[in-house]
Structures are given as C-alpha cells and as structure tokens.
C-alpha cells in the first residue's frame, strides 16, 4: 500500500520475507499475498521442495512497490484464510504471517471501521475454527498495535514489532 512507502522506507518487508523463505524446509508449503486496495495472490500454496518454488516466491517480491492507494488488509487476511482452507494439508499446522504497518485504509473511515470489526470478530473466529494462528508483524511506530495484537491474541498467535530486518530472526 502507499502508506508502506512512508512506514517501510528501508523496504524491510522484502528482506524479512526473503530471510524467512530461505529458512524454510522442504516440507513447508507457503503462499504469498500482497495487497493494497485489493489482495493479489502472488503464489498459491506451494511446496518449498525445490529451488524453483523459492525462486518464484522471491520473484513475487519484485512486484512489491508500495504504489497502491489504499490498504485493505482485512480482504488480504480473508484471501489468505481461503487459500489455507482450500489448499492446506489437513493435518498440518497452519499459520498466517501478516506483515503490516497496522493501518486499514479503504478511503472511507466508516468502511475502515466496518472492515476492522469484520476482521477482529468474524475472520479471527473463522481462523480459530480452522486452527489457523495469526502472527502479526508491524514495521512502524505508527502501527495500530491494539488492532494487530488483538488479531494475534484472538487466534492464539503472536504479534511482534520489527524496526529492522535483524529484529525478525528471533
């Protein structure tokens, strides 16, 4: 989203995802969704059992340009839940890692509040029901920490603040 231009000027998101990706084993399956005014499935749930899969995910990061006008993170979370629900392995642990500057912005303040409530109430309830834990990571002091912490806690996940790529390792 456009707000990430200001809130992630050092482009930590790309570094963090690349580091995370490189640390994943062959039994891991990963999907990537980027979002601005709408979510975009960059890579469907894919086994990381060869370098081609990791290369496709790294290539997907090339499109991360922060040019979007809005930030519809609830729609992105919904799309990620759908991907895991539809294509996740039944017995596998499922997590959703949400990298954010913590702002929902659809261009309409009333709609933003509606979408935040939908995410906090309905989508986290669905996530719990499906056994999907949300791990939220904020990259800015301006993030809505109450919002992202609620998402994590409502799904038995965790939230983190990372102001530099090195903060993610732990």
- Three-state secondary structure along 85-112? HHHCCCCCCEEEEEEECCCCECCCHHHH
pLDDT at 67: 85
**Which pLDDT band, with edges at 50, 70 and 90, does 51 fall under?**
confident
pLDDT over threshold 80, residue 34: yes
What value does the mean pLDDT of the chain take? 88
Q: What is the mean pLDDT of residues 83-87?
A: 95
- Give bridge partners of residue 29 from the DSSP assignment: 47
Residues 142-163 pLDDT 10s = 788 888 999 999 999 999 887 7
């Amino acid at each position: 989203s456009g707000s990430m231009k200001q809130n992630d000027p050092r482009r930590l998101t790309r570094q963090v995802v690349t580091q995370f990706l490189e640390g994943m084993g062959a039994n891991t399956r990963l999907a990537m969704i980027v979002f601005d005014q709408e979510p975009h499935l960059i890579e469907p749930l894919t086994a990381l059992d060869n370098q081609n899969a990791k290369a496709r995910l790294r290539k997907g990061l090339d499109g991360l340009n922060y040019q979007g006008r809005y930030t519809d993170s609830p729609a992105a979370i919904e799309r990620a839940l759908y991907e895991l629900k539809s294509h996740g392995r039944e017995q596998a642990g499922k997590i959703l890692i949400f990298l954010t500057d913590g702002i929902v912005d659809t261009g309409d303040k009333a709609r933003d509040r509606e979408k935040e409530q939908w995410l906090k109430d309905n989508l986290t309830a669905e996530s719990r029901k499906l056994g999907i834990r949300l791990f939220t990571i904020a990259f800015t002091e301006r993030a809505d920490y109450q919002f992202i912490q609620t998402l994590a806690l409502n799904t038995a996940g965790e939230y983190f603040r990372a102001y530099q790529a090195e903060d993610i390792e732990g």
